[in-house]
Amino acid sequence: MNDGITGLAEIEKIEELPLEKRLVVTNTYDLIRYGARRNPEAPALTFFRDGNAYKEAATYSYAQFLGEVNRAANMLHELGIGPNDVVSYLLPNLPQTHFVLWGGQAAGIVNPINPLLNAEVIQDICEHAKTKVLVALGALPGTDIWKKVEEIRHNLPDLKAVVRVMGPGDEASGIYGYEETAAGYGADKLDFEREIRPDDIAAIYHTGGTTGTPKLAPHTHSNEVSMVEMVLLNFNSLQPGDTFMCGLPLFHVNGTTATGSAPLFLGGHILLLSAGGFRDPGVVKNFARIVEHYRGVFFSAVPTVLAMLLAELDKSADISSLKYLLCGAAPLSVQLFETFEKETGMKIIEGYGQTEGTCGSIVNPSGGKRKIGSIGLRLPYQQAKIFILDDDGIFQREAQVNEIGSLCIKGPNVFPGYLDAEQNRNIWPQPGWLNTGDLARQDEEGYFWLTGRSRDLIIRGGHNIDPGLIEGPAADLVEIELAAAVGRPDAYAGEVPVVFVQLKPGAQISASEIRNLLADKIGERAAVPKEVFILDEMPLTAVGKIFKPKLRRLAIEQVYRKALADIEKIAESLTVSVGENSVYGNLATITVKLPAAVDKSGIIRQIADKLGPYMTKYEVHLD
């Protein structure tokens, strides 16, 4: 047993044995049972409620954990969940979340939902998933999950029952209290017969990236157990009993896989870092002490989390137990990478994955050469290539070494396609090969390097600009915490590059100074941002990715306000807001308060003249 995979040659050696001969289980319920058989009395999961009181925790042994999974499965089955029925959950990181996740997959199909989404989006997800049972957190102080449930539950045509976690039941209204109801079911075994086939759907995850309205991505049981094997082959020095710290949300594949099913199969110990995970300030503040107390070995995070942990790092704590930090979802600056490793003494493993690939696809070898800025080598049994596609996503050819193209993946972890068949158009450029939507290149040693998202390209007068050309140099500036480049509408060039930045605490630098520094650092003149915007806080998704749609809308708003500012009589009463639109993508709403005597038709003509050269659709409201 070495310290992990060393390189591509070792990956190819591993693949000489077909994956199906390595798999000892074919579904997630048997995966849990397999892990429990290693040592039924070993700790499976520990949970503390508050990062400031991390020593006050509840621990479940593997025998107890499996028992609670059985109870959840039996309860859900009794409530009508069968192999083709969906149970959705709106839960923070709680032990009950794990019980519902795995018990629900034993009985039927589980649909984890981000509880931070607004009620309308949650309802849309439940409708499309055909949710039959909804499990949600009760009405607790500081939370609004139950309020959202009350708003939507009567609008879901397939819903038969609601299960309230940490709250009372009201069976006359179809509401069941989780704790009191689950306690009435057997923990020893499943009370129903089911043969779980490898190609049965285990879960339906909504995409959580930066591209707007969520899509629903089903995972088969085969996808999920194959993914666990692939992850653990890369981190083959991890052992039963190792503590995996989970601070990412349990509605996201990283939380449920890298710090969920993988440790459960291995016989590892999951430490839930409070219900809020890395959103809990106490967890961030006390992270090093938590590592010291529980002897944490592995955790996953995104760059924004690393920056927070580094700022609060208690250097007096013993964190020598840490082996690996798996970091993905966004590029990691060289400065943050090197500083974090120097201060913690641990090894950062940069990787890449997406919901459609179950969790992970490409990662730097844990026991070999790590290239800072690269997402690494393909995982064992994961095929990955760079394809050159046309504007319609149609395959043209394979890319040459270091040629930028579309990153495509194929393998046992790749999902069967979105639930909505319309969303599967042009995502398979070759049979079995998924277009990830990311631009990348592959170097001579097989390492992959992300260069942006295909839809993130800034097209200036027909010239394609990779946002990474701007974001990399910006992120290297010592004053900048986060940077994201987007295209801003331009009357002449179609769009021009601009960059939004969030400064490090206490940093003092102006937007003009940043632009001047970037002008010197960016080799491609067309890529020099026309403007720099300093934000107090960068908009992020629930899992810490920069939410570029919001930035694009801010850029559009700025341009439209500026374009309309010199129209007499409306400048002082003008408001511009840009939102997502299902037809146009983005829609600008122009609102103007006018005195009664003003010629409204004349104002509308002037607005049309000013905004005509721009591509973003708009509508005008005159009050």
Looking at residue 336, what is its pLDDT? 76
Domain boundary among 494, 525, 546: 546
Q: How far apart are CA 87 and CA 118, in angstroms?
A: 19
In sequence order, what are the beta bridge partners of 590? Answer: 576, 620
Q: Are 192 and 107 in contact (CB under 8 A)?
A: yes
CATH number of 77's domain: 3.40.50.980
Residue 76 and residue 142 in one domain: yes
Cα–Cα distance for residue pair 50/603, rounded to 1 Å: 56
Same domain for 96 and 117? yes
Distance CA 160, CA 364 (A): 45
In-domain check, residue 576: yes
CA distance 107 to 105: 5
Q: Does residue 485 lie in a domain region? A: yes
Same domain (yes/no): 463, 519: yes
| Residue 109 belongs to some domain of the structure | yes
- Cα dist. 57→72, 95, 237, 373 in Å? 22, 11, 28, 37
Buried b (16+ CB within 10 A) or exposed e, 297-314: bbbbbbbbbbbbbeeebe
- Tokens for 586, please give them: 């983005």
CATH number, domain at 472?
Answer: 3.30.300.30
- The domain tally of the chain equals 3
Same domain membership, residue 86 and residue 179:
yes
Classify residue 175: in a domain, yes or no.
yes
Do residues 158 and 130 lie in contact, with contact meaning Cβ atoms separated by under 8 Å?
yes
Does 564 lie in the same domain as 537?
A: no
Q: What is the CA radius of gyration of the chain?
A: 25
Q: Which residue has the tokens 């090894």?
A: 347
Domain end among 196, 218, 240: 196
Average pLDDT of adjacent 10-residue blocks, the chain of 623 residues: 78 97 98 97 98 98 98 98 98 98 98 91 94 96 94 97 97 96 97 97 80 78 98 93 97 95 98 96 97 96 83 92 83 75 86 94 91 92 96 91 93 97 93 92 93 70 73 92 91 84 94 93 82 95 86 92 81 83 74 78 84 82 81
Residue range of the domain that includes 88: 51-196
Say what the pLDDT of residue 4 is. 73
User: Listing from the earlier edge strand, what are the strands of the sheet with 362-363?
Assistant: 57-61, 43-48, 269-272, 243-246, 296-301, 324-327, 347-352, 362-363, 377-378
Beta-sheet strand order (sheet of 617-622): 574-581, 585-592, 617-622
| 501/562 same-domain check | no
Q: What does each C-alpha distance from 510 to 105, 241, 480, 531, 603 come to in angstroms?
A: 52, 50, 11, 12, 36
> Domain check: are 140 and 160 in the same one?
yes
In a domain, 527, yes or no: yes
Residues 476/335, Cβ–Cβ less than 8 Å: yes
Residue of 252, 218, 228 lying closest to 97 (CA atoms): 252
582 and 488 together in one domain: no
Shared domain for 70 and 184, answered yes or no, is yes
C-alpha 263/C-alpha 372 separation (Å) is 26
Measured distance CA(243)–CA(280) in Å, rounded: 20
Question: Would you say residue 276 lies in a domain?
Answer: no
Whether 434 contacts 428, CB under 8 Å:
yes
- The residue assigned the tokens 């009191």 is 180
Strands (DSSP E) along 424-519, which ranges? 434-442, 448-453, 458-460, 463-465, 480-490, 494-503
- Same-domain pairing of 185 and 69: yes
pLDDT score, position 581: 73
Of 546, 571, 598, the residue that ends a domain is: 546
Angle at 150 between CA 145 and CA 155, to 5 degrees: 120
Q: Is residue 452 in a domain?
A: no
Has residue 176 been placed in a domain?
yes
* Strands ordered across the beta sheet of 86-90: 175-177, 161-165, 131-137, 86-90, 109-112, 201-206, 216-220
pLDDT at residue 209, rounded to an integer: 41
473 and 588 belong to one structural domain: no
Do 490 and 589 fall within a single domain?
A: no
> SS3 of 502, please?
strand
DSSP H stretches of helix in 477-618: 511-521, 548-564, 600-611
Q: 331: alpha, beta or left, given left = phi > 0 and alpha = psi -120 to 50?
A: beta
Spatial distance between the Cα atoms of 415 and 413, rounded to a whole number of angstroms? 6
